Structure 1
Amino acid sequence: MAGLCWVVVTLTLLLSGENSSAAVDKNQLAKITKFIIERYDIKTQVSVAVNIPVKTVNQNYLEEVFKRATAAAVQKKLSEDSVYPNDTSDDRVVVAKPDFKEWYTDHAEALVLQNMKPLVESRDGNFLVFYTFYSPCGAKCTNLKNRNSIIPKINQVFPNWGQFAFVFSKVFDKTSKGVPIDKDEPVESLKQLGNTKVGHDNIFRCYKPKNEAFKCINCFSGKEPVAQCVGNVD
């Protein structure tokens, strides 16, 4: 599904334990994230929400989880400037792209967060992963002074799950017009995200470094962001 822009994904995945304090299995998280990217041919900002049972995660099972959310079904909704599924027909997956208006843009992350009721209602036995191709922008998404910040909604939605992860693939370091943003903005934005109900231990960058296999890394060492999560470096 080439050309998907600004989409966010939320999903459930296998942990290395059975309680909310268990560490996320980064190998399984990498498999799930890679599956999403390849399924929807994600090459720029996309946001997706998914519930995946905690106990078993493998490629065949992911096909079952995403059975309704085919590439064609998602592409149809997004081409209509809608959110997938935009109804209660799929209680596992939500997908959105940015809605560009003349004077304003509804960000993909916000659109997914606003359409997660079916996932919340089917959360039992699931782990939540929120995937966005780009890390949240600092000017709006994680700016508490901006009335369109996603932080209040994150704090409302994420605690419905006992286990969750927030995942991105690339650091948002340029505007949509290619203008570089201040290097301190991604740092401050990630710190703000870490201070939400998501928590520092549940934020990951999943990507393919040069000459390495696709992998996921923790974005914080203690409460300090790591270099790979605030700049597009390997």
Structure 2
Amino acid sequence: MKMANLCWVVVTLTLFLAGENSVAATDKEQLADIVKFIMNRFNIKTQVSVAVNIPMKTTQNYLQEVFKKATTAAVKRKLNQASVYPGDSSDNTVVVAKPDFQERYTDHAEARVLENIQPLADSSNATFLVFYSFYSPCGSKCTNMKNKNNIISKIDELITKWKQHAFVFSRVFDKTGTGITIDKAESVEALKQLGNSRIGHENIFRCYKPKNKDFQCISCFMDKNVVKECVVNDD
């Protein structure tokens, strides 16, 4: 699959709150469990976008309940048809898409999810929103406010529907499909632009398996400065 012009995979999730009416920091261990579940369920190894509402108050098997309609087979069938799952209002918890490659234009996966996310926004009460991306955001289009097809404008419009949210990615987008290396400065700037959006610096994470370590989630900003692990692949 081409990697040029790809940006990131979107996933909407929810995590625990510290108290009944308080806003808590994201639980990184729970976030890691959610991301692993999603990656395994949909066999995510490249650009796919997933959006899912997870209740703030969870039970032991909450992930199975949340994804009961979005089965592996149902999602695979839609993606193989170059369609968006579910493509209608039949599932107000999960949205899944991959890029749609046209002859002269690529409709990015995250943009396709945003176009179909309204049912989730309408049922966002008591849920926590997270954007999960297999790749970190690209700077040429996705986070470039000068590009009319950027997704930050749409994110800013929708993000207020949720009281809590996070953006998560697993792999740094550091090389195009034609093998051209992306300058690290571009990756840094892309994350900064995302942090300056209504997502917020404190809500951006990388969830991945570092070399010789367990799968984990880390914060991508320290005092609004991008950390190295979020702009460099270590393998």
Taking structure 2 as the reference length, the TM-score comes to: 0.93
Aligned position for 2:101: 100
Aligned position for 2:173: 172
Q: CA deviation at 1:16?
A: 3.9
- Partner Cα separation in structure 2 for residue 149 and residue 224 of structure 1: 23
- Partner Cα separation in structure 2 for residue 197 and residue 20 of structure 1: 19
- Partner Cα separation in structure 2 for residue 142 and residue 7 of structure 1: 13
Q: CA deviation at 1:209?
A: 0.8
Aligned position for 1:43: 45
Query: Does the residue aligned with 1:77 lie in a helix, a strand or coil?
Result: helix
Alignment check: 8 A CA contact 1:168 1:204 kept: yes
Give ranges in structure 1 of 5+ residues lacking alignment.
none
Alignment check: 8 A CA contact 2:13 2:129 kept: yes
Amino acid of the structure 2 residue aligned with 1:112: V
Aligned position for 2:26: 24
Q: How many residues align?
A: 229
Moved >3 Å (runs of 4+) = 15-21
Q: Deviations over 1:179-212 (max 9, x none)?
A: 2112211000000000000000000000011111
- Partner Cα separation in structure 1 for residue 77 and residue 145 of structure 2: 34
Q: CA deviation at 1:177?
A: 2.2
- Partner Cα separation in structure 1 for residue 191 and residue 20 of structure 2: 27
- Partner Cα separation in structure 1 for residue 20 and residue 223 of structure 2: 23
- Partner Cα separation in structure 1 for residue 193 and residue 21 of structure 2: 25
Alignment check: 8 A CA contact 1:17 1:23 kept: no
Aligned position for 2:132: 131
Alignment check: 8 A CA contact 1:51 1:93 kept: yes
Aligned position for 2:219: 218
Alignment check: 8 A CA contact 2:17 2:23 kept: no
Alignment check: 8 A CA contact 1:16 1:24 kept: no
- Partner Cα separation in structure 1 for residue 226 and residue 205 of structure 2: 11
Taking structure 1 as the reference length, the TM-score comes to: 0.93
Amino acid of the structure 2 residue aligned with 1:158: I
- Structure 2 residue 70 is matched with structure 1 residue 69: yes
- Partner Cα separation in structure 2 for residue 178 and residue 16 of structure 1: 44
Aligned position for 2:3: none
Alignment check: 8 A CA contact 1:14 1:29 kept: no
Residue identity (%):
66
Alignment check: 8 A CA contact 1:10 1:50 kept: yes
Q: Deviations over 1:120-172 (max 9, x none)?
A: 01111111111110011000000000000001001011111001111000111
Give ranges in structure 2 of 5+ residues lacking alignment.
1-5
Q: CA deviation at 1:18?
A: 4.7
Q: What RMSD, in angstroms, separates the aligned Cα atoms of the two structures? A: 1.6
Aligned position for 1:154: 155
- Partner Cα separation in structure 1 for residue 153 and residue 20 of structure 2: 27
